[in-house]
Amino acid sequence: MPKGGTIDFDTTHPTSPFLNESHHEWRRNLRRWLEKEIAPYVDEWDEKGEIPLELYKKASDFGLLRMGYPEEYGGIREGLDKFHSVVTSEETGRIGAGGVFASLMVHGIGLPPIIAIGTDEMKQRIAPPVLAGDKHISLAITEPSGGSDVAQLLTRARRDGDDYVINGSKMFITGGMRADYFTTAVRTGGPGMGGISLMLIEADRKGVARTNLKKQGWWASDTAALYFDDVRVPKENLIGGENQGFIGIMLNFNGERLGMAASANAAARVCIEEAVKWAQQRQTFGKRLADHQVIRHKIAEMVRHVNATQAYLEICTWRVQNGETPAADLALLKVQATQTMEFCAREAMQIMGGASYMRGNKVERIYREVRVNAIGGGSEEIMRDLAARQMGL
């Protein structure tokens, strides 16, 4: 951070040796699009509880939905790397409305298993309309009986001739009310992770029902409970091999955790920017709030947390880009980033006082979204335990 410079979202991003002009150009273009198409409407969409359907088409036409996916399915992959994805997560995080992007970008967790291990027919059938913004896909793993302990899931798919018959339920499914397809974890074999498969379930099949759930945060993103009552799907809907779904799930989680970490740290930087702006204009006891030592120390501590998290994020991203699967570090990175987000959201609220408690400002919205980041994609407790096991403890 330059001496005497402005403290804002950009200056709290340390200079990165991993970013080149391609990344900077994507950031500039994406920021302009977000400022035009999304930023002016986030309060309206938050209160309404959904984003407009036409936004998916706009995001596809711009290229946002298609980033990182193979060209043969309508994606954009040439010349892109993992740091383009991090930039995307940072810039969407800068808007300070996680629910909007949880809904808009939900295909980012529902579609990758199909691209990674689905059949060619399935990829050709599902990916193009999803990437075009015409269809929507959600990931359905968490159940009423448990979430992070995927190996214990209960939803069962029983083979019956050329079909599977599915019974069970899923809970807290992001984008579940709008989804046309569910990438669903089911049990096709015995207990534990070795009996889990991934199954594509079309939302309009007989026996599929869903209920909308109200949440503490992410208001602009619909969240559903799903119910499967003797839902019959053809065997061709199996994603990957039978009883081999756990690998696909875990690979998907690693990518999700990297993106969530980038978004969480970006949200923390938003909190710093908003707190600094308030502290520089607010007068207390005859001087600016920013001139009180306790406030200056709070801001410095927020920046310290963000800088440490950013360094960890970029090293993990570089390792993934170079072919590693650092599961332990990705788990710990998510913990680091969500705790940084929580710390900065709390301190920004303290600095801004009552103003931060009013609806319609970024810090209030981010504070409501802390818990979903700390729990979703693997809770902090599960992440620590996963990391310990990966390290051989």
CB-facing half-sphere around the CA of 249: CA atoms within 13 A: 29
> Which 8-state DSSP code applies to residue 189?
S
Count the Cβ atoms, other than its own, within 10 Å of residue 205: 14
Beta bridge partners of 139: 183
Architecture in CATH of 247-390: Up-down Bundle (1.20)
Q: How confident is the prediction for the chain on average, in pLDDT?
A: 94
Q: What residue spans in the chain does CATH classification 1.20.140.10 cover?
A: 247-390
pLDDT exceeds cutoff 80 at 312: yes
Range(s) within the chain of domains with CATH label 1.10.540.10? 21-131
**pLDDT tops 80 at residue 284:** yes
Decide: 220 and 175 in contact? Cβ < 8 Å: no
For residue 4, the model assigns a pLDDT of 57
Question: Residue 246 has what pLDDT?
Answer: 85
Report how far apart, in Å, the C-alpha atoms of 61 and of each of 52, 58, 67, 338 are.
Answer: 15, 5, 11, 31
> Residue 253 has what pLDDT?
84
3-state secondary structure of 12: coil
Of 370, 369, 367, 377, residue with least CA distance to 330:
377
Identify the bridge partners of residue 67 per DSSP, sorted by sequence position.
76
Q: Which of 128-132, 235-239, 373-377 shows the lowest mean pLDDT across its residues?
A: 373-377
Residue type, 333: L
- Looking at residue 136, its pLDDT comes to 98
Assessment of whether the complete model's pTM goes beyond 0.75: yes
Give dist(CA 357, CA 74) in Å, integer: 43
Q: Tell me: the pLDDT tens digits for 118-140? A: 999 999 999 999 999 999 999 99
| pLDDT tens column, 2-50 | 455 689 999 999 899 999 999 999 999 999 999 999 999 999 999 999 9
Asked if residue 393 has pLDDT above 90, the reply is no
- Which ranges in the chain are annotated with CATH 2.40.110.10? 137-243
What is the rounded distance in angstroms from the CA atom of residue 41 to the CA atom of residue 24? 25
> Helix 245-281 and helix 327-352: axis angle, to 10°?
30
pLDDT band at 1 (very low <50, low <70, confident <90, very high): low
- Identify whether 256 is a catalytic site residue: yes
d(CA 203, CA 385): 35
What pLDDT is attached to residue 337?
Answer: 98
Asked if pLDDT for residue 360 goes beyond 70, the answer is yes
Residues of 300-324 as b/e, b for ≥16 C-beta within 10 angstroms? eebbebbbebbebbbebbeebeeee
Alpha carbon distance 138, 111 (integer Å):
8
- pLDDT at residue 5, as a whole number: 66
Please identify which of the residues 50, 90, 91, 256 carries the catalytic annotation.
Answer: 256
Tokens of 149: 């302990």
CATH 3.20.20.80 fits 21-131, yes or no: no
Q: Which residues contact 32 (CB under 8 A, 6 or more apart)?
A: none
Structural tokens at position 174: 């992001």
**Adjacent-strand bridge partners of 196:** 187
pLDDT tens per residue across span 140-165: 999 998 766 777 899 999 999 999 99
Examine the pLDDT at 332 and tell me if it is beyond 80: yes
Q: Which CATH class is domain 137-243?
A: mainly beta
Nearest CA to 166 out of 202, 121, 134 is that of 202
